[in-house]
A and B are shown apart, each in its own frame.
Chain A
Amino acid sequence: MLSYIASRFFQGLLTIFLVVTVVFVVLNLSGDPIRMMLPPTASAEDVAAMREAFGFDRPLPEQYVKFLRQVVKLDFGRSIQTRMPATEQVLMRFPATLLLAFSSLLLAALIGIPLGILAATRRGKLLDGVAVSVSLIGQSIPVFWIALVLILLLGVFWPILPPSGYGTIQHLILPMLTIALFLIAGITRVTRTSMIEILPQMYLTAARAKGLPERRVIVKHALRNASIPIITQLGLQLRFVLGGSVVVESIFGWPGLGQLLAQAAYGRDYPLVTATTFFIACLIIGINILLDMAYTMVDPKVRFWS
Chain B
Amino acid sequence: MTSRQRKNASKPTGSRRGFRRYRHEVWRQKRVAAAHVLLLLILVAAIFADVYPIDANRQNLFHHLKAPTLSHKEGEFPRLLGTDPLGRDLLSRLLQATRLSLLVGVLAVAVACGVGTLLGLLAGFIGGMLDHIIMRVVEALLALPFVVLAIAIVAAIGTSFLNIILVLGLTGWVTFAKLVRAEVLRIREMDHVEAARAIGCSRWRLLFVHVWPQVVGLVLVTITLTLGQMIIAEATLSFLGLGIPPPTPTLGGILSDAQTYFFSAWWIVVFPGIFLVAIVLCANLIGDFLRDYLDPRLKL
Known A18-B140, A22-B140, A246-B151; judge A142-B145 contact (CB<8 A). Answer: no
Closest-CB distance, B226 to chain A (whole angstroms): 13
Closest-by-CB residue of A relative to B170 is A26
Known A15-B143, A139-B284, A247-B240; judge A277-B152 contact (CB<8 A). Answer: yes
Interface residues of chain A: helix, strand, loop or mixed (majority): helix
In the complex, B293 has a CB within 8 A of chain A = no
In the complex, B119 has a CB within 8 A of chain A = no
In the complex, B259 has a CB within 8 A of chain A = yes
- Evaluate contact between A19 and B140: CB separation under 8 angstroms: yes
Known A149-B273, A152-B262; judge A243-B145 contact (CB<8 A). Answer: yes
- Evaluate contact between A15 and B139: CB separation under 8 angstroms: yes
Closest-CB distance, A20 to chain B (whole angstroms): 9
Q: Write out, one digit per residue, whether chain B residues 146-162 have a CB within 8 A of any chain A CB (1) or not (0).
A: 11110111111110000
In the complex, B232 has a CB within 8 A of chain A = yes
- Evaluate contact between A19 and B144: CB separation under 8 angstroms: yes
Mark B residues whose CB is within 8 Å of A: 136-137, 139-141, 143-149, 151-158, 228, 232, 235-236, 239-242, 252, 255, 258-259, 262-263, 266, 269-270, 273, 276-277, 280-281, 284-285, 288
- Evaluate contact between B158 and A273: CB separation under 8 angstroms: no
Report the bound CA distance from A47 to B228 in whole Å. 41
- Evaluate contact between B284 and A140: CB separation under 8 angstroms: yes
In the complex, A29 has a CB within 8 A of chain B = yes
Report the bound CA distance from A152 to B143 in whole Å. 34
Report the bound CA distance from A246 to B143 in whole Å. 16
Closest-by-CB residue of B relative to A282 is B143
Interface pairs A-B: 9 shortest CB-CB: A243-B145, A18-B140, A145-B273, A265-B155, A140-B281, A243-B148, A140-B280, A265-B151, A142-B232
Chain A residues closer than 8 Å to B228, beta-carbon distance: 140
- Evaluate contact between A273 and B143: CB separation under 8 angstroms: no
- Evaluate contact between A140 and B140: CB separation under 8 angstroms: no
Closest-CB distance, A16 to chain B (whole angstroms): 8
